[in-house]
Structure 1
Amino acid sequence: MINNLLNLIIAHYVDHDDDDEDEEEQKKMMKKKKKKMMMIITMMMIILLLMMMMMKMKKKITILMAFLFFLLLLLLCVFSDDDKDDDDDDDDDDDDDDDDDDDDDDDDGGHGDGDGDDDDDDDDDDDDDDDDDDDDDDDDDDDDDDR
């Protein structure tokens, strides 16, 4: 009965476009969705059992904390990214996100901050190296004692 209920719930969320997916991919998606729904139902049951135990103790703050924890877990399960595992399986290279060629207009060869040199500093002056010496003036007395 639970399995049929899960299949009905999952069938609502699965795309019905047969043009892009074949049956094997749909079965994989159904398995992933079923696994996710079973995890959510299991968490709900565990949290409900915890809440029932807390009600016997008459600790209303703990009940509220358990309920908020349940909501957090539910939100994490619902809004988690399912496509993390699918990125390795995709053989389509239609994505233009990976730009191998550098079309930068600066003279640093695609590296750096665009000012012509190869360093990544945003400042054009090189006087920043002396800033660390000014901060250590207070500790000079302690260094002399250690020598």
Structure 2
Amino acid sequence: MFSFKTGVTLAVLAMLVVAVHCGIGEGTNSYNYDLHKMSDLTKLYNSKVYVADRMRRPLKGTTFQIGLISHSGVRVTLKDGTKWLVHKGDAFGISSQTVVVDARHMSNTWKIIETKNFQGSKTVSDFVKAGGTDYSLIFDNCHDASGRMFDQ
């Protein structure tokens, strides 16, 4: 029989799994930047987003994904066709835990959940802002951030 206590225990266990795996290897203290000039970064952040794909992948070290036991983010496509992943995780960034990485760094385990055509009405910066600066496993994790980014 499934009781409230069992449900709480399972929820806490799921959160612990997410804490351990929700981006280990992607949020390290060594930063390898694809953009080297501040002007390139500014241009990227001001770039208009035409298509966004909300995506999910298994947690690092696992081959399955079940609800919160996964990692999510939003891959944006710009006018020039380049794709960037905007996602959030503990210790992912320096001043913000929502970061933007070239989609070339995405593994083949990422799968599209849903797609939305923004028609250039939002910028990469809008997605980063919607993701938020701080990370909290329970109150503001990767799934919360990708939901806000996608629903803006």
**Do they fold alike, i.e. is TM over 0.5?**
no
Bigger helix share = 1
Bigger strand share = 2
